[in-house]
A and B are shown apart, each in its own frame.
Chain A
Amino acid sequence: MKKKLEPIYMIFFPLLLSVMLVLGYCYKLRHGGLSGYLSLGCSLVVCVLAFLFTKKWNALTAYRCLAFWFALSCQIPATWINSCLGGTLPRIDVISSLVSEVYILLRFAIALALLYLAGTKLEISVNSRDKVFLILGGVFFLAGLLFPSLLYVTMFLFGACFFLLCAKLWTTVIDKTGYGIVWDILLFGFLYIRVLMLLIIYCEF
């Protein structure tokens, strides 16, 4: 079954990167600069981290990580791009930052809660490396609250920690349930609807 599905998965990954490249280009056309490409570069770094993190050199986990990021993060690509450039868009006041950070936290909380909820039933244990990423994510989140001037950078690092964790747990859940394609189609389906929205709304197609 897995062998048969591999070609389908292999389409997802380049497609995802192409979409990001298009978004980066659209953003460049609209706002100038290389920020869109920088966001692509950063996402590739996270991709490599996902390879290393899972110790499996598993492409699936890597692009699931990206899929989570794209599907759940707020105001992409603006947030990504700002995180790469250290925040060049007009600053928002501290209370707004707090509210938006809390709202970002909500999305991570949802993703992790779902994966842990599945994990309790499937008896997936959380190892020490997972806990390190969880704590690191929490530290970056708190740093964002305490030092609003570093908001975009800390949010980027916070996202990297949590989405790596999400991708790893997601892969484990899929392995255990054996319904990989169903879970992935939903994740990627959702992701592409979101990307469609971005193309229409943010890039003004």
Chain B
Amino acid sequence: MKQGNKGILIGASILFLAVIFVLQRVIFFVNDDWWYMTNLVTEKPLAGLRDIWESQYWHYFNWGGRSVNHAVLQLVLMCGELVADIFNTILCGVIAYIICKLADAKEKAFVLLAGVFLIALNPSFYNNMFWQSGAVNYLYATCWIFCFAFLYLNALNGKMISNRSGIVIWMPILGLMTGWSCENMGPASFLFATCITVYLWKWEKKKPTVWMVEGILASLAGCLFMILAPGNYVRSDLIEQTSLVQMISIRVSSMLVATCDFLLPVFVLAIGLTLVYLFAYQKKLTRTQIAFLAYGIVAHGGMALSPTYPSRAVFGVLAIFTVYMISLLAAMAQEQKARKVITAFGSILYLVAVCQMIALIIIPPFTR
């Protein structure tokens, strides 16, 4: 990369993170944040870890199964708005970096492009990256889910981590957190890990290591804890008083809206890039790309089992497809002419993302 281009890239990245941070500061704790800032049993402000434990115990049996996410949320809320905003901004950078690691895109420009994708192609970036409850449930959770996926992806690419590196101790925790994260991403991640392990075992004759099995079992346990939480059923009894036909109709509608409206730009771009990659560039999809394509489809399809598919819930699917698209773009960018088009396209998307954030800074959705 030329020196001048490097300067532009660094400047653009700093500006991007600065705009994210300013928007984080503009958006304060609101709605559910206030509820989670209290001990859900006593309704008094959180004072320590004991309050979080009590709250999540009650939450699990009376409201919903996302105990891990909400425990992390309560921890962050206890730290105050400034610290939460700093965490959110850092994690926006971290997830863009992890996406590039997963996509095996070595150039720094792709880290910025991944960050831009997550804002510009996101139908509800305010709700899943800036609003605190949404940020923890989607942005934070996707970070640890991708760390989990990264380990299996490395194994698929022949970079197997040995059991001696201490992974056997922390893998059950990471696996449990992954499975116990979101209703679609948890099970999809469990399937992702299982398919890779089975593939390596059956087709490549590589015996699964202890940490791989631990990860699969822990993520499965996490999924079961989340889906079978008594609170889910208490809440669905309160909300979903519909017949089977109505329920199916609602779920078909919500899937169609999510596919053709919320995720329309993502799918158009992903399908289009695949066509260009296969037919114009005459390249074949790698195992990593196929794995992420399947992972994304399963994560999206999994939402058919959910009573609703709000626009904020697309974050995990968007992040997976971003990995896939960055991987394709990185492969195409090896040609000089393609680099120019990708740079021009990335610049337009950068402007789109910055304009959208500045619009929210000028007119925030909530005022104090």
B359 at the interface (CB under 8 A from A): yes
Given contacts A71-B268, A183-B279, A201-B257, contact A121 B338 (CB under 8 A): yes
Residues of the A chain whose Cβ atoms lie less than 8 Å from the Cβ of B271: 186, 190
A-B Cβ contacts below 8 A, count: 107
A179→B278 CA distance, assembly (Å): 11
Q: Is the CB of B341 within 8 A of A99?
A: no
Q: Is the CB of A114 within 8 A of B269?
A: yes
A23 at the interface (CB under 8 A from B): no
Q: Separation in Å of the B117 CB from the closest CB of chain A? A: 11
Chain A 56-74 interface residues, beta-carbon cutoff 8 Å to B:
71-72
Proximity string of chain A (81-125) to chain B, C-beta cutoff 8 Å, 1 when within and 0 when not: 000000000000001001100110111011101101110111000
Q: Is the CB of B265 within 8 A of A106?
A: yes
Stretch in A24-32, A33-41, A191-199 touching the partner: A191-199
Q: Is the CB of A99 within 8 A of B280?
A: no
Q: Is the CB of B332 within 8 A of A117?
A: yes
Q: Is the CB of B359 within 8 A of A106?
A: no
Proximity string of chain B (261-272) to chain A, C-beta cutoff 8 Å, 1 when within and 0 when not: 100110111011
Q: Separation in Å of the B154 CB from the closest CB of chain A? A: 29
Chain B 311-368 interface residues, beta-carbon cutoff 8 Å to A:
332, 335, 337-338, 340-342, 344-345, 348-349, 351-352, 355-356, 359, 362-363
B275 at the interface (CB under 8 A from A): yes
B253 at the interface (CB under 8 A from A): yes
A20 at the interface (CB under 8 A from B): no
Q: Separation in Å of the A181 CB from the closest CB of chain B? A: 12
Residues of the B chain whose Cβ atoms lie less than 8 Å from the Cβ of A201: 253, 256-257
Chain A 156-190 interface residues, beta-carbon cutoff 8 Å to B:
173, 176-177, 179, 182-183, 186, 190
B259 at the interface (CB under 8 A from A): yes
Q: Separation in Å of the A142 CB from the closest CB of chain B? A: 13
A5 at the interface (CB under 8 A from B): no
B160 at the interface (CB under 8 A from A): no
Determine the interface band of chain A, counting residues with CB < 8 A from chain B: 35 or more
Q: Is the CB of A197 within 8 A of B260?
A: yes
Q: Please, which residue of chain B has its CB at the minimum distance from the CB of A200? A: B253
A32→B203 CA distance, assembly (Å): 62
Q: Is the CB of B257 within 8 A of A110?
A: no
Q: Please, which residue of chain B has its CB at the minimum distance from the CB of A75? A: B261
Q: Is the CB of A122 within 8 A of B265?
A: no
B276 at the interface (CB under 8 A from A): yes
Q: Is the CB of A117 within 8 A of B265?
A: no
Residues of the A chain whose Cβ atoms lie less than 8 Å from the Cβ of B252: 200
B281 at the interface (CB under 8 A from A): yes
A99→B120 CA distance, assembly (Å): 11
Q: Separation in Å of the A193 CB from the closest CB of chain B? A: 6
A98→B352 CA distance, assembly (Å): 10
Proximity string of chain A (4-19) to chain B, C-beta cutoff 8 Å, 1 when within and 0 when not: 0000000000000000
Given contacts A102-B352, A177-B279, contact A114 B272 (CB under 8 A): yes
Q: Is the CB of A106 within 8 A of B256?
A: no
Q: Is the CB of A182 within 8 A of B279?
A: yes
Q: Is the CB of B268 within 8 A of A107?
A: yes
Q: Please, which residue of chain B has its CB at the minimum distance from the CB of A178? A: B279
B273 at the interface (CB under 8 A from A): yes
A193→B121 CA distance, assembly (Å): 20
Q: Is the CB of A110 within 8 A of B268?
A: yes
Q: Is the CB of A120 within 8 A of B356?
A: no
A147→B350 CA distance, assembly (Å): 24
> In the complex, which of the residues A103, A110, A117, A177 contacts B342, with contact meaning CB atoms closer than 8 Å?
A117
A12→B348 CA distance, assembly (Å): 33
Q: Please, which residue of chain A has its CB at the minimum distance from the CB of B258? A: A197
Residues of the A chain whose Cβ atoms lie less than 8 Å from the Cβ of B281: 121
Q: Is the CB of A118 within 8 A of B276?
A: yes
A7→B121 CA distance, assembly (Å): 37
Residues of the B chain whose Cβ atoms lie less than 8 Å from the Cβ of A179: 279
Q: Is the CB of B256 within 8 A of A99?
A: no
A50→B257 CA distance, assembly (Å): 30
A201→B349 CA distance, assembly (Å): 29
Q: Is the CB of B260 within 8 A of A99?
A: no
A118→B230 CA distance, assembly (Å): 52
> In the complex, which of the residues A72, A105, A182 contacts B268, with contact meaning CB atoms closer than 8 Å?
A72
Residues of the B chain whose Cβ atoms lie less than 8 Å from the Cβ of A99: 355-356, 359
Given contacts A173-B280, A193-B260, A200-B252, contact A110 B341 (CB under 8 A): no
Q: Separation in Å of the A189 CB from the closest CB of chain B? A: 9
Residues of the A chain whose Cβ atoms lie less than 8 Å from the Cβ of B340: 120
What 7 new A-B contacts, CB under 8 Å, besides A105-B352, A113-B342, A197-B257? A106-B120, A107-B265, A114-B273, A117-B273, A117-B341, A121-B338, A193-B259
Q: Using a CB–CB distance below 8 Å, which chain A residues touch chain B?
A: 71-72, 95, 98-99, 102-103, 105-107, 109-111, 113-114, 116-118, 120-122, 173, 176-177, 179, 182-183, 186, 190, 193-194, 196-197, 200-201
Q: Using a CB–CB distance below 8 Å, which chain B residues touch chain A?
A: 120-121, 252-253, 256-257, 259-261, 264-265, 267-269, 271-273, 275-276, 279-281, 332, 335, 337-338, 340-342, 344-345, 348-349, 351-352, 355-356, 359, 362-363
15 contacts between A and B (CB under 8 A): A72-B268, A95-B359, A102-B352, A107-B268, A110-B268, A117-B342, A118-B280, A120-B337, A120-B338, A120-B340, A122-B280, A186-B275, A193-B256, A201-B253, A201-B256
